[in-house]
Amino acid sequence: MSFCQRLARLLLLCLLPASVLAQTKGIPEWCKPLPRPEYRALLRMPVSDPWFEVYKVAPETFAIYEPHQAEETISYLIVGTKQAVIFDTGMGIGSISKVTRQLTAKPVVVLNSHTHNDHVGGNSEFMFVYGMDTDFTRKNARGSRADAQAEIAPDQICGNLPAGFNRKTYMTKPWKISRSAQDGFTINLGGRKLEIIATPGHTPDSIALIDRANGLLFTGDTYYPAPIWLYRPETDMDAYVASAKRLAALAPQVKMVLGAHNIPVAQPDELPKLVDAIQAVRAGKGDVKAAGTGKAMHTFEGFKFLLAEPAKGLD
Ligand SMILES: [Zn+2]
């Protein structure tokens, strides 16, 4: 072996571990602990698109989870004997209507927990979309591009984007509001009723859905078992606390709380604890850490809230 060959071999040995290291380094931090252990106890349903994972969380109730994007958004398909509701339509990165067609043959109408782009991405794939009667909802229904593009940055994606996905043209597509809905509005799915509970705060158009007969409360971004984001300009902290109290008052009537990010199933007794935690944080209690420009993570007894800094409503 010549000196050059020996040198080339040595260089190759040095380079190989470096490239392996680079690959490990390339995995975003949030992606490393996935899959979350809570999913082991849930019944997974087979669907053809690997972008989505579907779990049956109650009879005729499916959590449609997007684990490959940092939001880890969860939409819910809630099926009755005549029709179904899709409560949120996810990121719009994979086709969620193809998933719902694999789960039910009934007509599917859309309700959104709120109209942040990570919950309305697939709205345009459906014929009928309810919208809350707010300017925020109407503005978002026009679609947008900047947030969607930021959400496919390399540090936001874990694993592969769907086959055929076009990075350049990706945006939150506009959709048409078919009919407006309001607090107390009830949708009859056939043998199953869902009632809208307006929960403004995270956004002006935030809602929860309650299935009283089955004890299910779908809480959107008002509550999910992970850091709750309350830093955007459209967030109203006084309204948020009032809405959290409204949900907490329902806790004795429900068996399961289903939020819109990270983990689909939580216990109802988390809701009164949520009220205590956000009120404690607003009173200046708990731990505070800077979390990027203009934001701070507040922690109190297991709850985390990402708030605007200086925190809105702290006085
Ligand atoms: Zn949101």
Please tell me the predicted confidence (pLDDT) of residue 152: 97
- Spacing, Cα 116 to ligand 1 middle (Å): 5
Kind of pairing between the strands at 216-220 and 207-211: antiparallel
Note the pTM of the prediction, 2 decimals. 0.90
Task: Give kind and range of the element (H or E) at residue 92.
Answer: none
- Spacing, Cα 231 to ligand 1 middle (Å): 10
- Spacing, Cα 83 to ligand 1 middle (Å): 26
Tokens matching residue 161:
């984007």
Q: Is the pLDDT of residue 9 over 90?
A: no
Q: Give the architecture-level CATH label for domain 34-227+254-267.
A: 4-Layer Sandwich (3.60)
* Cβ atoms of 256 and 265 closer than 8 Å: yes
Q: For 34-88, write each residue's pLDDT tens digit.
A: 999 999 999 999 999 999 999 999 999 999 999 999 999 999 999 999 999 999 9
Question: CB-side exposure of 44: number of CA atoms within 13 Å?
Answer: 12
- Spacing, Cα 51 to ligand 1 middle (Å): 20
Task: Give kind and range of the element (H or E) at residue 63.
Answer: strand 61-65
- Spacing, Cα 22 to ligand 1 middle (Å): 33
Please tell me the predicted confidence (pLDDT) of residue 13: 42
- Spacing, Cα 238 to ligand 1 middle (Å): 17
